[in-house]
Amino acid sequence: MAGEIKVCSVPVFSGSSESSELYLAGLTAYLWEVGKTLRVRFLDGDSATQAKVESIAHQWSQFANIKFQFGNDSDSEIRISFTREGSWSQLGTGSLQVDRNEPTMNFGWLKHDSPDEEYSRVVLHEFGHALGFTHEHKHPDSGIKWNRDAVIAYYRRTNGWNEATTVSNVLEAESKDETQYSKFDPDSIMLYAIPAELTEDGFSTDWNTQLSATDKEFAKLLYPFDGSVLYIRTFDGQMFGTVSAIQEVSSSDGFRGWSWDGTTASYVAVDGSGKSTLYIRTFDGQQFGNVTSTQTLSSSDKFRGWSWDGATASYVAVDGSGKSILYVRPFNGTTLGTITSQQEVSSSDRFRGWSWDGATASYVAVDGSGKSILYVRPFNGTTLGTVTSTQTMSLTNRIRGWSWDGSRASYIGAEQP
């Protein structure tokens, strides 16, 4: 074996003999209030190590509606030490039961010169526990064929665990009613590395050092954002890639159009008086810059999609009879020119996003069952061609803006808490 695998050295659950009802109730009890800011305090450790831990922990907040505030508050919910044995964390709100002078999380083997991948692996894993996430290898559908004797011997030697502790932490899968995810995720940050020597069929997993797509989606599921949320992911015109970024962009459901070219974002939002206002600002995929331009496009809530390539704007708006109309006109970032093209694209108010790069149009519309469907088709500025691709983006009417540059998609979703 190439090396000893270092894992959480204390059990997160003391056992799993409870009924599924008790387990699920317990899981709910371990979750923090959605949107909560958790205070984090270092009890010891050098400043360089502390800084590395803090920078990595914040990654969870991109995908979970939870914030970490690092400081010296004596009542901090999360208290970190580097002096205890092993690396471990209390599960979620279980940290509230720990004496406030004692750590709720420990990084026993992290040093200032530990490799960056080790920092990422351990910190993301333990802060996952702090959010209430359990170990992925205990998933009932993992299909892992453990070599029981080898596993027990291994963890007795490396972690000092007795057989009962190893069974509870590694070998004993949860019931199907207790599973965390829809399917086993071998890429999860919450999964132990599994050497082939510990399985009967040679199955193994390497170190997972980053949040997986499922980790991100699960975090959002348990800690949903409750306003307008921006998603960024790859899209080749047929298939979506994994979500690379999620962030709340408004505390309300006010977005009515979104466009992003990789550097500049422009979007339409409804203000408190019901006016549709256009905003322009820089955006690098993570951080928004200051708003550089705003203007009222309509005195009412009638916009249903917006696209701008730096020279030409196209957008969908609902007219007085409830029809969805597509408009094309020049726009220099300040002044909208004369409309060059105008056509009815739907007899009803069903558009929820529109994007056009000069050759290909893509848009989101709600079908008769209430699903949000993405359509891709040619558009030369006057005539829409045959639809080349369709797919369901959401089972509900929740998309509020859509942008696609041919390889990367970004869109706004109206979330429900």
Which of 185, 216, 247 is the C-terminal boundary of a domain? Answer: 216
Task: Name the residue range of residue 36's domain.
Answer: 20-216
Among 216, 239, 271, identify where a domain stops. Answer: 216
pLDDT in tens, 213-238: 888 878 887 888 778 989 999 999 99
- 5 domain-assigned: no
Q: Which residues contact 385 (CB under 8 A, 6 or more apart)?
A: 377, 378, 379
HEC string of 366-410 equals ECCCCCEEEEEEEECCCCECCCCEEEEEECCCCEEEEEECCCEEE
**pLDDT tens per residue, the chain (417 residues)?**
334 444 455 434 333 333 333 332 235 568 899 889 999 999 999 999 999 999 999 999 888 889 999 999 999 999 999 999 888 999 899 999 999 999 999 999 999 999 999 999 999 999 999 998 877 666 566 678 889 999 999 888 887 889 988 887 777 765 544 434 446 778 889 888 788 899 989 888 878 999 988 888 788 878 887 789 899 999 999 988 878 888 889 888 899 999 999 999 999 999 888 899 999 999 999 899 999 999 999 999 999 999 999 999 999 999 999 999 999 999 999 999 999 999 999 999 999 999 999 999 999 999 999 999 999 999 999 999 999 999 998 888 889 999 999 999 999 998 753
191 and 295 part of one domain: no
Q: Are residues 126 and 239 in the same domain?
A: no
Return d(Cα 192, Cα 169) in angstroms, integer: 10
Does 211 lie in the same domain as 286?
Answer: no
User: Is residue 67 within 8 Å of 98, Cβ to Cβ?
Assistant: no
Distance CA 215, CA 60 (A): 9
pTM of the complete model beyond 0.85: no
Nearest partner of 258 among 308, 295, 317, judged by Cα: 308
Instruction: State how far the Cα of 257 lies from the Cα of 308, in Å rounded to an integer.
Output: 10
Q: Which residue has the tokens 């959480």?
A: 8
User: CB neighbours of 185 closer than 8 A, spacing ≥ 6?
Assistant: 136, 139, 191, 212, 214, 215
Q: Mention every residue, 6+ apart, whose C-beta is less than 8 A from residue 85.
A: 9, 106, 108
**Same-domain pairing of 190 and 237:** no
Domain-located, residue 2? no
Q: Specify if 3 maps to a domain.
A: no
Structural domain ending residue among the three candidates 216, 233, 264: 216
The secondary element (H helix, E strand) that includes residue 344 is strand 341-346
Based on the domain organization, do 182 and 250 belong to the same domain? no
CB 185 within 8 A of CB 191: yes
